[in-house]
Amino acid sequence: MMRELWSQMGSLMATVVFMYTVFERFFPSSFRDRLQAYAQKVTNHFNPYIQITFPEFSGERLKKSEAYNAIQTYLSANSSQRAKRLKAEVVKDSQTPLVLSMDDNEEITDEFQGIKVWWSANKVSSNPQRYNPFSYYGSSDDKRFYKLTFHRSYRDIITMSYIKHVLEEGKEIELTNRQLKLYTNNPSSGWYGYKQSKWSHIVFEHPASFETLAMDQKRKEDILKDLAKFKKGKEYYSKIGKAWKRGYLLYGPPGTGKSTMIAAIAKFMNYDVYDLELTAVKDNTELRKLLIETPSKSITVIEDIDCSLDLTGQRKKKKEEVENEEQKDPMRKNEEESSKSSKVTLSGLLNFIDGIWSACGGERIIIFTTNYVEKLDPALIRRGRMDKHIEMSYCCFDAFKVLAKNYLDVKSHLLFGRIGTLLKETEMSPADVAENLMPKSEDEDVETCLENLIMALEKNKEENAKKKAEEEAQRKAEEEAQKKLEEEKAKEESTQNKEINKEKTRENMVKENGFC
């Protein structure tokens, strides 16, 4: 019975192959294409499933499809564990450089809101005649694409919700896994040409985090809450009609951890850092172009804003300066203008921060740092431009405990009490405290390092006391000198008044005696 069945199947297959060969050889291609189109329509009429393809390259210039990349990332992270055949690829600038994904012609399933869908990775060759089986490399004519298959009754859910979910999830996974980068702006002379760009970058490998940041714990938590709120604030910023950005002003004495704070923020937010050097920017137009080139989910940093450019004196000039400029020779004036390294103005910087162009991209942070906040123009640091002012102060006891854990791996010690008392009585930056805590040789242990810090704090206390005494003595000397000067001036004015009165008396006597 089975032998007869296989015999009939063999005859049927031979007939089909013969008919197909005749069809391909004797019928014109236009007729074959039309017949295949009708056959496809008939098949689709009875087929309850819908298929959507996502090609690897799209557009006129065949650019790599962002949708394809997002789907590949999503499937690699969520569904490729169920695939039997995988391929490994090395991905640049990723925390997980070896990525496993579905191999060609492999299929896996996924679920969304209880709906089952099928994903398959496919590859076709647009020019089969150029296929070379002995080549070590794949054909350049291979076209890869992902195919999504689902039941037509779920068409709206899949097209409106599921595909959007896959793309967003894939992009989020890609951002989470990528390596952070530190950018700096190139001079405008190198902006054009082959493979030139406005920014150059290196991998950002700063180890700082909020856990290792030497700072008061309550203030640290306040900053973390503010950052977390901003990260989730897309709908809120849209509702209030404000660009999705936030400005932070970090100010305080040198060595208080401003740069470390920037690195900790970048790591917490998973944002790239764009370190903007204002002195390399020629004018406001270039500044605007640099802003356009910074993407969303980035931090733009201008360190030592008070030293970058003379922005404080550009708002208004003295009357004498204006008159002197008007009297200058035009040729000399042009030479002085051209000799300036940068013509970025305060107005241009303000527009860079919160002007119309600042809304492009969205989800960005702008950070200024300064050692002397009182030197900055009030318009530059007002709320709305620099939304949160963070004072990076001298080392407190909470900050010291973080440094002791980082450098010595200790959470408590008998000497902590003495150190806490000295930190209240004197001022020392976290950088100086860390330097004293760092072991300088193999012989130095925890107690030695803590004693070194105590000696440094005591010495600093004595120097500060001596400095304050000298400043007080100088202040008193200046006050006494000022008082003496005022007394001499008053005495001189009194003498002058007496002479004036004598002269007036003499004139009156002459008038009374009739000698006028």
Dihedral angle of Cα 248, 253, 257, 260, to the nearest 10 degrees: 60
The region of weakest confidence among 11-20, 118-127, 271-280, 318-327 is 318-327
Q: What confidence category does residue 472 fall into, taking pLDDT thresholds of 50, 70 and 90?
A: confident
**Looking at per-residue confidence, does 78 or 241 come out higher?**
241
The answer for residues whose C-beta is within 8 angstroms of residue 185's C-beta and 6 or more apart is: 198, 199, 274, 275, 276, 277, 280, 281, 290
C-alpha to C-alpha distance for 132 and 136, rounded to whole angstroms: 9
Task: Kindly indicate the confidence band of residue 469, based on its pLDDT and cuts at 50, 70 and 90.
Answer: confident
pLDDT of the residue at 136? 41
Give the least confident one: 80-84, 308-312, 420-424. Answer: 308-312
User: How far apart, in whole angstroms, are the C-alpha atoms of residue 149 and residue 53?
Assistant: 9
Find tokens 């209240």 and name the residue: 424
How buried is residue 451: exposed, middle or buried, by Cβ count under 10 Å (0-12/13-18/19+)? middle
3-state helix, strand, coil in the chain (%, to 5): 55, 15, 30
Domain ranges of the chain: 15-47, 49-126+140-179, 182-311+341-391, 397-487
What pLDDT, on a 0 to 100 scale, did the predictor assign at position 477? 87
What average pLDDT does range 285-296 have in this prediction?
87
The pLDDT of residue 15 is above 80: no
Alpha-carbon distance of 76 to 70, in angstroms, equals 10
Identify residue 446 by its one-letter amino acid code. Answer: V
* In the chain, % of residues over pLDDT 70: 78
Query: Does the global pTM surpass 0.85?
Result: no
Q: Which residues contact 172 (CB under 8 A, 6 or more apart)?
A: none
On average, the pLDDT of the chain sits at 81
DSSP strand pairing (106-112 vs 86-90): unpaired
Residue 492: the pLDDT is: 82
Average pLDDT of the segment spanning 476-498 = 83
321, two tokens = 């300066």
Asked if the model's pLDDT at residue 138 lies above 70, the reply is: no
* b/e 22-53 (16+ beta carbons within 10 angstroms → b): eeeeeeeeeeeeeeeeeeeeeeeeeeeebeee
DSSP character at residue 180: P
Second-level CATH architecture of 182-311+341-391:
3-Layer(aba) Sandwich (3.40)
What pLDDT is attached to residue 93?
Answer: 65
Confidence of residue 335 (pLDDT cuts 50, 70, 90): very low
Q: Which of 493, 408, 494 is nearest to 453 (CA)?
A: 408
**pLDDT band, residue 344 (cuts 50/70/90):** confident
353 vs 246: CA distance, rounded Å: 10
* Nearest CA-CA partner of 290 in 311, 305, 275: 275
Q: Higher-confidence residue: 246 or 132? A: 246
Angle at 58 between CA 53 and CA 60, to 5 degrees: 140
Residue 404 has pLDDT above 80, yes or no: yes
The CA distances from residue 70 to 77, 96, 174, 409, 502, in Å, are: 11, 16, 8, 42, 99
What is the token pair recorded at 262? 């920037």
- In the sheet with 245-251, reading across from the earlier edge strand, the strands are 199-203, 181-185, 272-275, 298-302, 364-370, 245-251, 388-391
Amino acid identity at 304: D
Give the residue among 66, 81, 266 at the shortest CA–CA distance from 174: 66
Q: Which among 45, 124, 15, 41 has a CA at the least distance from the CA of 23? A: 15
Q: Any residues with CB less than 8 A from the CB of 303 and at least 6 apart, and which? A: 258, 259, 275, 369
Query: Confidence class of residue 390 from pLDDT cuts 50, 70 and 90?
Result: very high
Q: Give the pLDDT of residue 19.
A: 72
Contact between residue 272 and residue 183 where contact means Cβ atoms under 8 Å apart: yes
pLDDT, position 339: 42
- Per-residue pLDDT for 82 more than 80? no
The structure tokens listed for 421 are 């008392």
- DSSP state string for 100-167: EEEPTTEEEEEEETTEEEEEEEEEEES-GGG--TT-SS--TTEEEEEEEEEEGGGHHHIIIIIHHHHH
State mean pLDDT over 410-416: 93
| pLDDT at site 316 | 47
Collapse the DSSP code of 367 into the 3-class scheme (helix H, G, I; strand E, B; otherwise coil) and give the result: strand
